[in-house]
Amino acid sequence: MIINRRIQTLDEFTIQQMRDFPHATGELAGLLRDIGLAAKRVNVEVNKAGLVDILGDAGSINVQGEEVKKLDVYANNQFVGVLQHGISCAGIGSEELDDILVFDDPVSNNSKYVCLFDPLDGSSNIDVNVSIGTIFSVFRRVSELGKPATQEDFLQQGNKQVAAGYVIYGSSTMLVYATRRGVNGFTLDPSIGEYTLSHPNITCPDKGKMYSVNHGNFFQYDEPVKKYITACQKKDKTNGGPYTQRYIGSMVADVHRNLIKGGIFMYPGTTDKPKGKLRLLYECNPFAFIVERAGGLATNGKIRILDVQPTELHQRTPFFIGSKGMMEELESHLTEK
């Protein structure tokens, strides 16, 4: 008798994936479970952040007598702690750390993956109850197993990622991750403390009606970008315009909504900041991998984000990502003579 469980947990899902791939060692499944565990701990703190004033603000001592850390530092420590003591990761790069953190112990040196994180993106929104998130990227090492991970392991092109994902701490807490086999979303069920498969095989609609950009920077954008943004606002039977403008100021929330409903998110370069604001390695690469696996596109305005060769850990890039049809419209404006 086969019992088909209706609701699969993240663990059951990753184990099922291993059954489908008998040669899988389980390291990637273990890595995803580790990330999911750390995110549960972050979720607890994020959900009570509004109470921090009662429990003591960052730098103070809370009622438990512990030093209250800034939430993004706390989040970083959760991911470092779980992965450093796991068996699947040789080291991490993080927005919160100036340089890579190589775990350099016998078990970690034999692990075949490295991870990059934005532990808590959009954390400035937390004190006004806006959804925020964790973003992660996973690479197979290129350095020799048995030895410590190296810088080259982290500075690989995004098209070499083996997995990428994010956790959105919003009206519910969701973990979404992509491998070459597709994109799946898991919603945290607080009653059992498990992520449960709620969005199997996520695909990004080819067209959408939402565009996300910070209009406050409009006059600092390049002419072709301004033309596209203006086109989004015009009545146009060919592309279903005008579009709706939705910009939360929290990338995980904006890109997640556009992934599910269709839309385009833009953080272009400006005259002040030609490289834009967003980081290539742990914000743009992971989302580009996820959205492309779901059928969308992601560029820096010139080339595919996943084909950019990184040169430094915290480099920034202009970023355009979303529904294939909308990205093609944008590209027609960017290449217009």
Q: Which of 34, 72, 121, 329 binds ligand P6P (CB under 6 A)?
A: 121
Q: Which stretch binds ligand P6P (CB under 6 A): 41-49, 87-95, 120-128, 192-200?
A: 120-128
Asked if residue 250 binds ligand P6P (CB under 6 A), the reply is yes
Say how far apart CA 77 and CA 67 lie, in whole Å: 13
Q: Does 271 bind ligand P6P (CB under 6 A)?
A: no
CB of 124 to ligand P6P, least distance (A): 6
Measured from the CB of residue 179, what is the shortest distance to ligand P6P in angstroms?
24
> Exposure of 260 by Cβ count < 10 A (0-12 exposed, 13-18 middle, 19+ buried)?
middle
- Helix or strand (DSSP H, E) at 78: helix 71-84
H/E stretch holding 54: helix 52-55
225 part of the interface to ligand P6P, by CB under 6 A = no
Count of Cβ atoms closer than 10 Å to residue 245 Cβ: 13
Tell the smallest beta-carbon distance from residue 217 to ligand P6P (Å). Answer: 7
How many residues contact ligand P6P, by CB under 6 A?
A: 9
Are 145 and 176 contacting, i.e. CB atoms less than 8 angstroms apart? no
Binding flag, residue 47, ligand P6P (CB under 6 A):
no
Tell me the C-alpha distance between 176 and 258, whole Å: 14
Minimum separation from the CB atom of position 43 to ligand P6P (A) = 18
Are the beta carbons of 30 and 17 closer than 8 angstroms?
no
Give the dihedral sign, CA 115/38/180/278.
Answer: negative
Name the one range near ligand P6P by CB under 6 A: 64-72, 79-87, 117-125, 201-209.
Answer: 117-125
Decide if residue 251 touches ligand P6P (CB under 6 A). yes
Q: Which of these, 204, 185, 88, lies nearest to 139 by C-alpha position?
A: 88
197: CB partners within 8 A, 6+ apart: 7, 8, 9, 10, 13, 184, 185, 186
CB 318 within 8 A of CB 267: yes
Give the interface segment with ligand P6P, choosing from 87-95, 100-108, 164-172, 243-251 (CB under 6 A).
243-251
> For ligand P6P, which residue of 201, 249, 307, 312 counts as binding (CB under 6 A)?
249
Taking the complex as a whole, the smallest distance from the CB of residue 314 to ligand P6P amounts, in Å, to 13
By the rule CB under 6 A, 269 interacts with ligand P6P: no
To the nearest whole angstrom, how small is the minimum distance from the Cβ of residue 169 to ligand P6P? 13
| 214 binds ligand P6P per the rule CB under 6 A | yes
Does residue 170 belong to the site contacting ligand P6P (CB under 6 A)? no
Q: Which parts of this chain interact with ligand P6P (CB under 6 A)?
A: 121-122, 124, 214, 249-251, 254, 277
